């Protein structure tokens, strides 16, 4: 780690929690990283370093210096990624399930970023995420836009931020909705206890998903889901909260998903539509369901 990236200040109102646990519960820092920060004395309580087992007290002032991680050199790695569209400014790819979008612990050179660096001449000074405009979960398949330079990334990121893009997914879900079309508007934030998960919570960020049932039986259904916002795990959280968790989702779903032949959440980004900010042209891209989801639909008799 090299240098300080940011400083976080916390004032404790309710005490009697371990220092590392309190930091994880009140920031976006993971429990393991919080433990490391405390051990390496990047955390001060009332100006003094404390052990990770220290129980915070009401009135404590916590200052966290978050160090800047060393940035590894990105390696271009050739992968079999389908290119749907390619122009000077960006490309649209069909991401397979099982591949992480950008480098993270345990995934240094087997990501979409590594594959795109091998496929295109990407000129972007973003250290770990060159060309990445938006993300899909590791086990979600489907359409993604990749920018080829910094300016294109900034322009396309604004399209997403301004919600000037139609993003639609196909999902296989458990349950039988009473309505064939419905909207879910529930705020999403970090889970209260598990920092790797998200949940519906009153103080979360505004999130909206539109659901249309395409096929169903008494146990499951195939849905087209449009997301009007782009929160982490949005579809998985919204559908689980509504009582219709995604088939195959062992994080937000039912235990019965463990028995399915599909070993991931049954979620596929199948449609992206927007006006090109570079040419003014209407752009519409679609991707068919992958084989594992087709087989799941047949197996569930949808």
Residue 111 near residue 101, CB atoms below 8 Å: yes
pLDDT at 254 over 90: no
CATH no. for 71-162: 3.30.2350.10
Q: Where are the domains of the chain?
A: 4-67, 71-162, 165-301
137 labelled catalytic: yes
Helix (H) or strand (E) holding 86: strand 82-86
Model pLDDT, residue 24: 82
pTM for the model stands at 0.79
Q: Tell me, letter by letter, the H, E, C secondary structure of 134-158.
A: CCCCCCCEEEEEEECEHHHHHHHHH
Q: Is 161 helix (H, G, I), strand (E, B) or coil?
A: helix
Domain 165-301 has CATH 3.30.2350.10: yes
CATH no. for 4-67: 3.10.290.10
Mean pLDDT of 51-79: 86
The catalytic position among 60, 137, 249, 292 is 137
Taking the CB of residue 163, how many other CB atoms lie within 10 A of it? Answer: 13
What is the tens place of the pLDDT at every residue in 95-120? Answer: 999 999 988 766 778 999 999 999 99
Domains 4-67 and 165-301 share a fold: no
What is the tens place of the pLDDT at every residue in 115-174? Answer: 999 999 999 877 678 999 999 999 999 999 999 999 999 999 999 999 999 999 999 999
């Amino acid at each position: 780690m090299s240098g300080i990236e940011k400083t976080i200040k916390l004032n404790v109102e309710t005490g009697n929690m371990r220092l590392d646990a309190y930091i994880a519960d009140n920031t976006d820092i993971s429990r393991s990283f919080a433990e490391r920060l405390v051990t390496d004395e990047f955390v001060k309580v009332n100006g003094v370093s404390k052990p990770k087992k220290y129980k915070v007290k009401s009135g404590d002032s916590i200052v966290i210096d978050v160090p800047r991680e060393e940035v590894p050199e990105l390696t271009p790695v050739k992968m079999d990624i389908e290119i749907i569209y390619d122009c000077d400014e960006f490309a649209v790819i069909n991401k397979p399930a099982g591949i992480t979008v950008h480098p993270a612990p345990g995934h240094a050179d087997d990501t979409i970023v590594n594959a795109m660096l091998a496929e295109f001449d990407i000129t972007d000074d973003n250290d770990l995420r060159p060309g990445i405009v938006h993300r899909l979960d590791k086990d979600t398949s489907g359409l993604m836009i990749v920018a080829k330079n910094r300016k294109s990334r900034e322009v396309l990121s604004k399209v997403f931020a301004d919600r000037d893009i139609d993003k639609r997914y196909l999902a296989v879900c458990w349950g039988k909705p009473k309505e064939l079309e419905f909207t879910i508007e529930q705020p999403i934030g970090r889970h209260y206890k598990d920092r790797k998960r998200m949940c519906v919570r009153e103080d979360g960020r505004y999130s909206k998903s539109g659901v249309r049932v395409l096929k169903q039986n008494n146990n499951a259904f195939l849905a087209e889901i449009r997301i009007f916002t782009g929160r982490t795990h949005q579809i998985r959280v919204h559908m689980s909260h509504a009582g219709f968790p995604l088939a195959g989702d062992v994080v937000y779903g039912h235990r019965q998903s463990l028995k399915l032949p599909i070993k991931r959440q049954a979620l596929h980004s199948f449609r992206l539509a927007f006006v090109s900010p570079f040419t003014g042209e209407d752009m519409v891209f679609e991707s068919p369901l992958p084989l594992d989801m087709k087989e799941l639909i047949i197996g569930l008799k949808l």
